[in-house]
């Protein structure tokens, strides 16, 4: 009998989940083990210094979302006192500016989230769930081409501190740290993190939020120009929310609700496609891509407009039926003139389903002393801050204090009326919403099998700028300002990892090759 299926962003991440399933753990145990392993195998994208969301559907019960995303600090330093540094990530075909340093760090929720999810949903001891990650960190693993590429993209951030350089850069023959990040085939070891995982599973989350690790973090912030205080850590809590649920033809889609943005924007995109006869447009045709691009562009415009009018309440207004009709009417005839995340999908034989999306941004370039925990740079993420959805960009110190930050992350569960279900999510900054929208359309409008739905070339449009994978259909070049063509599939367009359970109980799993994903059925 099959124990379950997993799809994740790295073979070792997926293997950790599979080991847990084989040893009698449930889908939630497996997802937590995979997350901890991803902190070693995907160290730029995933960290105990970041946060995330778990959409959990226990068998026979309605789904819930555990929100352990980052929180803004309770105080805000004056700009002149902040350690806040602009850095450029180089994707090869395009670049994107981020900010790093101490003042870019938000209150991390990952550790609290792991313990709270385990207490509510887990079956196996947490120490056993952490063992695959601890072994990876202690023994090391070979850097694969995808992770080497990620290191090269954020090289400028990884070079910001001596601890980070020592972890992520090659050493010269004389033992000094070179200027070259680790390459494919090199060995990556993280022994400090192995020790911290062992300590956390013995001492509990207070070690991180009240104890020695908390003191190391807040002392450094006081010294180096960061916002975080002991009260920020001591008062952090996981929030449990009902998912945002929408109907789309024969499918009910459950995804991340407000205050996060991604789920709402995906639901908006699906509503914009309703009535547009997408199924009559040949997949990959100019007309099909044109419609998708316009829907994506309208989604960004709707967010920007409502954010100006209503501030943070825009998420509660975007799906208003009258407003939807106003925006839907602009699809035809409309003149046509980015984030470090990973995802884990798991189902088990008992009927449990887990969609876990986590992020550390691109990292702040700094690790908590003596722990190997890489801190996030969420306060340096344009798309998470007020104004970040529009062309004018954000005011970097405009964030409200002591507030759960928004996110594009959208762990998702789709259930067909015949009982089949799909568990999926994606990394990819602003491209999360467009990646998931296209995969959902491929699955449910075009009837593609799971692998084809994920590997099909994607596009993304925002602020009037169109980016496409693989080819540019005739005519679109004239309709969009300076379209960007990516000759091959690229991690820029997200990384959708998904598992499927058919109505008869059959399992399938597929992980996005754009992020060197891995899928296992055990």
The two structure tokens encoding residue 102: 């101490």
Residue 430's SS3 state is coil
Phi/psi at 249 (nearest 5 deg)?
55, -120
Contact indicator for 40, 141 with CB cutoff of 8 Å: yes
Nearest to 430 by CA among 347, 520, 339: 339
Q: Is the dihedral of CA 202, 204, 205, 210 positive or negative?
A: negative
Which residue carries 């995330």 as its tokens? 52
Q: Is the preceding peptide bond at 481 cis, omega within 30 degrees of 0?
A: no
Concerning whether 341 is annotated as a catalytic residue, the answer is: yes
- Listing DSSP states for 316-382 in one string gives HHTT-HHHHHHHHTTSTT-------EEEEEEEETTS-EEEEEEE-TT--S-B-TTT-PBBP-GGG-G
**419/76 Cα distance (integer angstroms):** 49
Helix, strand and coil content of the chain, in percent to the nearest 5, comes to 40, 20, 40
Phi/psi at 157 (nearest 5 deg)?
-75, -45
Contact indicator for 188, 144 with CB cutoff of 8 Å: no
Beta pairing class for 95-100 and 85-90: antiparallel
Contact indicator for 156, 101 with CB cutoff of 8 Å: no
Residue 107's SS3 state is strand
Of the residues 218, 341, 342, 412, only one is catalytic, namely 341
**144/43 Cα distance (integer angstroms):** 12
Question: Mind telling me the catalytic residues?
Answer: 341
């Amino acid at each position: 009998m099959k124990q379950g299926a997993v799809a994740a962003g790295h073979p070792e991440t997926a293997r950790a989940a599979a080991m847990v399933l084989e040893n009698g753990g449930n889908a939630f145990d497996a997802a937590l083990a995979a997350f901890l392993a991803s902190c070693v195998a995907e160290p730029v994208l995933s960290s105990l210094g970041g946060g995330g969301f778990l959409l959990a559907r226990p068998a026979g019960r309605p789904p819930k979302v555990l929100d352990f995303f980052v929180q803004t600090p309770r105080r805000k330093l004056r700009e002149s006192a902040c350690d806040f540094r602009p850095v450029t990530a180089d994707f090869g075909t395009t670049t994107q500016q981020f900010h790093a340093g101490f003042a870019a760090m938000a209150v991390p929720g990952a550790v609290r989230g792991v313990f709270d999810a385990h207490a509510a949903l887990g079956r196996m001891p947490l120490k056993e769930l952490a063992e695959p990650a601890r072994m990876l960190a202690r023994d090391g693993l070979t850097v694969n081409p995808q992770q080497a590429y990620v290191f090269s993209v954020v090289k400028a951030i990884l070079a910001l501190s001596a601890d980070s350089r020592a972890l992520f850069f090659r050493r010269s023959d004389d033992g000094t740290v070179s200027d070259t990040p680790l390459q494919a085939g090199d060995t990556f070891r993280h022994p400090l993190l192995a020790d911290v995982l062992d300590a956390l599973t013995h001492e509990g989350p207070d070690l991180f939020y009240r104890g020695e690790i908390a003191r190391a973090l807040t002392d450094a912030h006081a010294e180096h120009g960061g916002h975080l205080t002991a009260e920020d850590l001591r008062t952090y809590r996981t929030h449990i929310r009902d998912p945002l649920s929408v109907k789309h033809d024969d499918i009910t889609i459950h995804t991340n609700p407000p205050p996060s943005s991604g789920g709402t924007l995906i639901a908006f995109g699906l509503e914009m496609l309703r009535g547009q006869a997408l199924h009559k447009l040949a997949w990959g045709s100019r007309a099909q891509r044109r419609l998708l691009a316009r829907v994506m562009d309208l989604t960004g415009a709707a967010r920007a407009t409502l954010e100006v009018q209503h501030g943070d309440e825009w998420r509660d207004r975007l799906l208003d039926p009258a407003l939807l009709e106003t925006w839907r009417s602009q699809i035809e005839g409309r003149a046509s003139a980015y984030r470090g995340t990973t995802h884990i999908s798991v189902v088990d034989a008992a009927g449990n389903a887990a969609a876990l999306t986590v992020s550390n941004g691109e990292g702040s370039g700094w690790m908590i002393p003596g722990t190997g925990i890489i801190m996030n740079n969420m306060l340096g993420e344009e798309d998470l801050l007020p104004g970040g959805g529009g062309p004018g960009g954000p005011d970097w110190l405009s964030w409200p204090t002591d507030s759960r930050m928004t996110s594009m992350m959208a762990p998702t569960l789709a259930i067909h009326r015949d009982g089949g279900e799909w568990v999926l999510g994606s990394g990819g900054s602003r491209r999360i919403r467009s990646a998931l929208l296209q995969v959902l359309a491929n699955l449910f409008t075009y009837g593609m099998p799971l692998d084809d739905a994920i590997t099909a070339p994607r596009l993304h449009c925002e602020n009037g700028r169109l980016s496409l994978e693989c080819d540019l259909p005739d005519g679109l070049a004239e309709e969009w300002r300076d379209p960007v063509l990516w000759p091959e599939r690229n991690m820029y367009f997200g990384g959708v990892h998904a598992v499927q359970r058919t109505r008869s109980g059959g399992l399938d799993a597929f992980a996005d090759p754009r992020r060197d994903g891995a899928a296992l059925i055990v």
